[in-house]
Each structure stands twice: as C-alpha cells, then as structure tokens.
Amino acid sequence: MMGIEDLRHEHDEISLMLDVLGRICERLDSGENVDPVHIKQLNDFMVVFVDGCHHGKEEEFLFPKLESINGEESKKLIEVLIAEHKVGREYASAIGEALSHHENIGSGDRSKIIKYGENYIKLLAQHFDKENKVLFTMAEKKLSAKENQELFEEFEVLVKEKVGMDKYKQLDEMLHQLADIYL
C-alpha cells in the first residue's frame, strides 16, 4: 500500500464516523436518549484515530515532505490544513468535556454535543474535500513511488508507536459496530 492510498482509506473510515456522529446528533436533537458510552467511544476515535493517527501522519510526515519538494506551492495549503486540525481538536475536546462528568447526558451537555458534533462534521467534510481534491492529488503528482511507499512505512511506525496496532484495530471494529447500530 502507498502512503496517500492509506490516508484516503482513513478518510473513508473517518467519514463513516462522521455519519454515525451525525445520526447521534439527530437523535439527541429530537430528544431521544443515546448511550453516553457510544459518544465516548466516538470521542476516543476522534482523539486517537483522527487526531493522533491520521492527522499525526499528515503533520509529521506528509506535510514536511511536500513542503521540502514543493515549497511555497504547498506551504499555504498546509498552513490552512494545520489550522483546521487545531479547530477539530478543540471540537473533539469540547465533546469530551460535555461527557466527562455525567453518566447520563443532561440538556446542557446534549446541546454542547450537538453543537460541537455538527461543527466537527462540517469542518472535516470541508477539510477532506481540500485534502482529497488538492493535497492528495498534489502529493501523488510530486512524490515518486518510492517516496510514497516510504511514507506508508513511516505511517506504520507511527501507528505502532503512538497508537498500537491492537488499539488501531479495536477503534476500527468499534466504529463498525456503532455504524451497525446507528446507520
């Protein structure tokens, strides 16, 4: 597998998570009860998989490599993408805070989860559009096959060292279980 292909695959998984989050927000907004454990699991996916793993791969490996090859042409786009990563962290953190002190989701927590969940969904949808159409296309043109393969190898090391392969697989399985429940 190549590095950019790996990132595209992760976009598919994260998009599935956004669909689940959207359904949860819809249920909360209509007054239905949602198991707080499910929201905590999604929040863990946001923090560990999306931010720590996926964004980590981009920030630690892809972005520096593209800047070294492509200079100023990549720099402005990368600055925007890093800023969006930061905002996504803030939204995920706000969702986590709304869940942190309660067994049940109160009305104030419910509205925070809806607000930050919907903001997170919108942000990442726009973010992925930029990455899929501009960043990844640029990377596939500028990186040699060898560099793209080396990226994938660096990504694998990051997953093993920062997340752990077992945790990575558990997050993926958990996501698909939640998709079976909500989608």
pLDDT in tens, 45-61: 999 999 999 999 999 99
Distance, in Å, from the CA atom of 9 to the CA atom of 17, rounded to the nearest integer, reads 13
Residue 152 pLDDT: 97
pLDDT at 70: 80
- pLDDT for the residue numbered 162: 92
- Amino acid identity of residue 8, one-letter, is R
- Parent domain of 80: 3-28+36-182
pTM, rounded to two decimals: 0.94
| pLDDT at residue 105, rounded to an integer | 66
Give the span between the Cα atoms of 66 and 94, in whole angstroms. Answer: 32
Place of tokens 């090391």: 157
CATH number, residue 150: 1.20.120
- Count: domains in the chain: 1
Measure Cα distances from 88 to 52, 94, 127 in Å: 12, 10, 10
What's residue 33's pLDDT?
A: 87
Low-confidence ranges of the chain (pLDDT < 70): 101-108
pLDDT at 56: 97
Amino acid at 156: E
Distance of CA 16 to the CA centre of its chain: 10
